[in-house]
Chains A and B, each alone.
Chain A
Amino acid sequence: MHQILSQFSSTLRAAGIRVSTAEVLDCASALPCIQSFEREIFKITLQAHLIKTQKDLGKFNHCFELFFDQADPDQALSFFQPEETDPVQDFLREQMQETLQELPSEPLSTMTTHQAQMDLAVMDFLANNDERILEIIEQTLQGQVGPISSQNSPLSGFFVLSKRLEIQKSIDTVRSALKGFFKQAGREENSIEYLKQLYRQRRVQNARLDLLSQMLSGTQTRNVFKTRIYKDPLPEQNEIRGKSLFSLEPEEKEQIFFLMRNLIRKVNTNASLRLKQHHRGKINIKKTFRESMRYGGLPIKLHYQNKLKRKGEIVVLCDVSGSVYTMAKVMLSLIYSLSSQFRQVRSFAFIDDMVEITEYFENDQMEETVEQVLADHWKNGVANSDYGQAFREFESDYMSIIGPRTTVIIFGDARNNGRMTEHRIVEQMKERGKRLLWLNPERSNTWNMGDSEVDAYLPSCTEFRECRNYEQLEAFIHKLSLS
């Protein structure tokens, strides 16, 4: 049982679920508590111990089906390997042919008979001939061969085999010996048929899952199947972190959102810790004395003078033209998830006009916001970016909201269609505010090419960043919340 459990947990790990050893141990100690081995209860027990996040439940169900249920092997395997040919079987056939050619007729005496029979049967069994294994099982049932313990169970036997060539040497001898058993077994067709049926459903999936977990633990079989199956979740995640946010598949988007949620949590937690530490300051004599009256004048409880929470303000100006706006959406939603750290967040969208969109976000309609803004304000559809006009409008209507604690964030590609840049207004914003950060979703080597006016704005910014993938976004968010 324990071996099965550890194999199952390796399978879960292979599927990208984090399972700690302690959890497996706990689970092992829990299993004796369930008296009836009903499938559902067994499954729930495993689930409660090994799966601690709801999002892993789907994977768990799938792995469980693969591992324990008698599902259709072909369908079950599609989860790991949507290939038509079967590498395990090919590999086995190759191995077997090689062995047969190289070592045709060695005697059986080099090894224990039971082990050899078992291993060879397994070999055949995996290569799509299950007669032998059935015969051995039949024998076991009749008490002629020792019981199949977990240690020399068919599956682990295969791996012993792959490491020990001498087991393979006796393949022919045993084959002829097994022919006898085959005849013997032929007499009891019913039991054979029953076992056959049972095993046919299970064998391939079990064997492969087992192979899979072995491969992951780094055995030598690994390179044989190197084109198969497993991608370490970590590098994959790293890939995503560096991938441009424009070209994400829906699945990857989900992963990015998951990463973002984590990031926001971390950043917010850190910020709340920092704010808390701010509370500790000088002793508030007045309050401490007043409180001490309750206790006969003894200053039992000390009160501190809370330092003022120094929360900054944020003003975000987002270019929502063309392709930039998908990124703008992500940016804005990120900034609003952090809004608890700031005294105020105000946001504006622009193409040629500057439109305040703060209230859309405050009403928590993140999803439709940008589309809605676009529909509301640029009804005619086509509008070309005009940073100059947008900045002029900002200057006349909103410049006063920028105060000494305001961080201004401008998000845009600075492609101005050859119009006035009005960089003096940007300069003015920087001077009024605490700092001005410009995020450009374009790759830095395309800056200043075509109608890009990066160089005109660059001197007026405290910081000018490329921001086109998750990693850059993360770095920016950390910076923003720290300072």
Chain B
Amino acid sequence: MTTPTLNKPEDLKIILSQQKYIASNIISTVLYLAIKLKKPLLVEGPAGVGKTELAKSLSKALNYPLIRLQCYEGLDESKALYEWEYAKQLLYIQILKDKISETLEDAVSLSEAIAKLSQQEDAFFSERFLLPRPLLKAIQSKTTTVLLIDEIDKADPEFEAFLLEFLSDFAVTIPELGTFEAHTPPIVILTSNDQRDLSDALKRRCLHLYIDYPELELEKNIILTKIPEFDHQLLDQTLKFIQQIRKLGVKKAPSISESIDWIQSLLALQMKEWNREEIQMTLSVLLKYQTDIEHVKKKLL
């Protein structure tokens, strides 16, 4: 399979829709720019609006491998970038013991032996013993990759600072081996749930995209792409209801993924028309707090 060519944002929209990702104009345009300018893209928005899905769909649509780095508190370089494979190094040393003593055999003094041994250092600090983590993988890859740095806001601020170098140069320095530069710069997509504000330095380097809850029409398109068999008329009513809930100011507003789940469960219950009781019964699929459910029942049902 080959990578489709992109000449305008519209092209991107089409290939994403083939992956069942319905992108709005703003999504396709910003993504298109990020790809063309080879700049990282920072995607923000509430949970469940399809931030991660965007990266996944993009990698499928462009037929590039997806490399994912899930961020969490305490994530450090050895988990994100690379690690030396100590066990393997030791195993090799054990097996090669004889060979090593052979090499050191004619050394008269201890310092001479050390000098000889250090000449062989390269053998043990080579790419063979390097355990690449997502960032290094993306750089080493011979083809373009889509690198998804998911929920960057969950990582510590220090990690964010560490990413800055990577994002601006697409290069990584390993002290023992030197600098690795990307064969082809990966398409980097960072996502954030706004758990904390990201630093200006990071934001500066990225294009910014905010994905909000979709408009009624767009959401309808999305749902119809995912669940084409659902009754169209009922869908209108259902989506209007969901949009109303979002405006109600509940603790956790239903996202697209929750609407999809909900409509799927309505389908499973074979609901044919707007049925207050069934709606109430299934509301827990849509809303994640009991207080929200009570609130919606009181106000909208």
Q: Do the two chains belong together in a single complex?
A: yes
Q: Which A residues form the contact surface with B (CB < 8 A)?
A: 18, 20, 22-23, 26, 29-30, 33-36, 40-41, 44-45, 47-49, 51-54, 57, 261-262, 265, 269, 272, 294-296, 298, 300-301
A-B contact pairs, 10 of them (CB 8 A): A29-B37, A33-B37, A36-B8, A40-B25, A40-B29, A45-B29, A48-B208, A52-B42, A261-B197, A298-B90
Within 8 A of A (CB), among B190-249: 194, 196-197, 200, 203-204, 206-210
Asked whether, in the complex, the Cβ of A48 is within 8 Å of the Cβ of B36, the reply is no
Determine the chain A residues whose CB is within 8 A of the CB of B156 once the complex forms. Answer: 272
Asked if B33 lies at the interface with its beta carbon under 8 angstroms from chain A, I say yes
Known interface pairs A45-B33, A265-B197; A300-B8 also in contact (CB < 8 Å): no
Known interface pairs A48-B30, A298-B90; A269-B204 also in contact (CB < 8 Å): no
> In the assembly, what is the distance between CA of A57 and CA of B194, in Å?
16
Determine the chain B residues whose CB is within 8 A of the CB of A272 once the complex forms. Answer: 156
Determine the chain A residues whose CB is within 8 A of the CB of B209 once the complex forms. Answer: 48
Asked whether, in the complex, the Cβ of B208 is within 8 Å of the Cβ of A52, the reply is yes
Asked whether, in the complex, the Cβ of A41 is within 8 Å of the Cβ of B197, the reply is no
Asked whether, in the complex, the Cβ of A22 is within 8 Å of the Cβ of B87, the reply is no
Within 8 A of A (CB), among B6-47: 7-9, 25-26, 29-30, 33, 36-37, 39, 42, 44
> In the assembly, what is the distance between CA of A461 and CA of B90, in Å?
61
Asked if B86 lies at the interface with its beta carbon under 8 angstroms from chain A, I say yes
Determine the chain A residues whose CB is within 8 A of the CB of B33 once the complex forms. Answer: 30, 33-34, 45, 48
Determine the chain B residues whose CB is within 8 A of the CB of A265 once the complex forms. Answer: 196-197
> In the assembly, what is the distance between CA of A265 and CA of B90, in Å?
43
Asked if B157 lies at the interface with its beta carbon under 8 angstroms from chain A, I say yes
Asked if B94 lies at the interface with its beta carbon under 8 angstroms from chain A, I say yes
Known interface pairs A49-B207, A301-B86; A33-B36 also in contact (CB < 8 Å): yes
- Minimal beta-carbon separation of B86 from chain A (angstroms): 5
Q: Which B residues form the contact surface with A (CB < 8 A)?
A: 7-9, 25-26, 29-30, 33, 36-37, 39, 42, 44, 86-87, 90, 94, 156-157, 194, 196-197, 200, 203-204, 206-210
Q: Output the nearest chain A residue to B212 by Cβ-Cβ distance.
A: A54
Known interface pairs A29-B37, A44-B29, A48-B30; A296-B94 also in contact (CB < 8 Å): yes
Determine the chain B residues whose CB is within 8 A of the CB of A262 once the complex forms. Answer: 197
Asked whether, in the complex, the Cβ of B203 is within 8 Å of the Cβ of A52, the reply is yes
Determine the chain A residues whose CB is within 8 A of the CB of B208 once the complex forms. Answer: 47-49, 51-52
Asked whether, in the complex, the Cβ of B37 is within 8 Å of the Cβ of A30, the reply is yes
Determine the chain A residues whose CB is within 8 A of the CB of B29 once the complex forms. Answer: 34, 40-41, 44-45, 48
Asked whether, in the complex, the Cβ of A294 is within 8 Å of the Cβ of B87, the reply is yes
Asked whether, in the complex, the Cβ of B37 is within 8 Å of the Cβ of A52, the reply is no
Determine the chain B residues whose CB is within 8 A of the CB of A45 once the complex forms. Answer: 29, 33
- Minimal beta-carbon separation of A245 from chain B (angstroms): 23
Known interface pairs A33-B37, A49-B207; A44-B30 also in contact (CB < 8 Å): yes
Determine the chain A residues whose CB is within 8 A of the CB of B210 once the complex forms. Answer: 54, 57
Determine the chain B residues whose CB is within 8 A of the CB of A35 once the complex forms. Answer: 7-8
- Minimal beta-carbon separation of A53 from chain B (angstroms): 8
Main SS of chain A's interface residues? Answer: helix
Q: Output the nearest chain B residue to A262 by Cβ-Cβ distance.
A: B197
- Minimal beta-carbon separation of A463 from chain B (angstroms): 30
Asked whether, in the complex, the Cβ of A295 is within 8 Å of the Cβ of B90, the reply is yes
Determine the chain A residues whose CB is within 8 A of the CB of B196 once the complex forms. Answer: 265, 269
Asked whether, in the complex, the Cβ of A54 is within 8 Å of the Cβ of B9, the reply is no
> In the assembly, what is the distance between CA of A337 and CA of B122, in Å?
51
> In the assembly, what is the distance between CA of A265 and CA of B209, in Å?
23
B44 contact from A47, A54, A300, Cβ within 8 A: A54
Asked whether, in the complex, the Cβ of B157 is within 8 Å of the Cβ of A269, the reply is yes
B200 contact from A18, A40, A47, A294, Cβ within 8 A: A18
Q: Output the nearest chain B residue to A258 by Cβ-Cβ distance.
A: B197
Determine the chain B residues whose CB is within 8 A of the CB of A301 once the complex forms. Answer: 86
Asked whether, in the complex, the Cβ of A300 is within 8 Å of the Cβ of B204, the reply is no
> In the assembly, what is the distance between CA of A405 and CA of B86, in Å?
43
Asked whether, in the complex, the Cβ of B157 is within 8 Å of the Cβ of A48, the reply is no
> In the assembly, what is the distance between CA of A419 and CA of B39, in Å?
68
Asked whether, in the complex, the Cβ of B204 is within 8 Å of the Cβ of A22, the reply is yes
> In the assembly, what is the distance between CA of A295 and CA of B87, in Å?
6
Asked whether, in the complex, the Cβ of B37 is within 8 Å of the Cβ of A41, the reply is no
> In the assembly, what is the distance between CA of A245 and CA of B207, in Å?
37
Determine the chain A residues whose CB is within 8 A of the CB of B39 once the complex forms. Answer: 26
A48-B29, A52-B203 are known; give 8 further A-B pairs, CB within 8 A: A22-B204, A34-B29, A44-B30, A48-B30, A52-B42, A52-B200, A265-B196, A265-B197
- Minimal beta-carbon separation of B196 from chain A (angstroms): 5
> In the assembly, what is the distance between CA of A23 and CA of B207, in Å?
9
Determine the chain A residues whose CB is within 8 A of the CB of B26 once the complex forms. Answer: 44, 47
- Minimal beta-carbon separation of A341 from chain B (angstroms): 14
> In the assembly, what is the distance between CA of A41 and CA of B29, in Å?
7
Determine the chain B residues whose CB is within 8 A of the CB of A30 once the complex forms. Answer: 33, 36-37
- Minimal beta-carbon separation of B190 from chain A (angstroms): 12
- Minimal beta-carbon separation of B28 from chain A (angstroms): 9
Q: Output the nearest chain A residue to B195 by Cβ-Cβ distance.
A: A265
Kindly name the residue among A29, A35, A295, A298 whose own CB sees the greatest number of chain B CB atoms within 10 A.
A295
> In the assembly, what is the distance between CA of A164 and CA of B94, in Å?
85
B9 contact from A18, A23, A26, A41, Cβ within 8 A: A41
> In the assembly, what is the distance between CA of A298 and CA of B33, in Å?
52
Determine the chain A residues whose CB is within 8 A of the CB of B44 once the complex forms. Answer: 54
- Minimal beta-carbon separation of A186 from chain B (angstroms): 44
Asked whether, in the complex, the Cβ of B25 is within 8 Å of the Cβ of A44, the reply is yes
Query: 8 smallest A-B Cβ distances: which pairs?
Result: A52-B203, A44-B29, A48-B30, A48-B207, A33-B36, A52-B208, A295-B90, A54-B210
Known interface pairs A48-B30, A57-B210; A23-B204 also in contact (CB < 8 Å): yes
Determine the chain A residues whose CB is within 8 A of the CB of B25 once the complex forms. Answer: 40-41, 44
Determine the chain B residues whose CB is within 8 A of the CB of A26 once the complex forms. Answer: 37, 39
Asked whether, in the complex, the Cβ of A300 is within 8 Å of the Cβ of B30, the reply is no
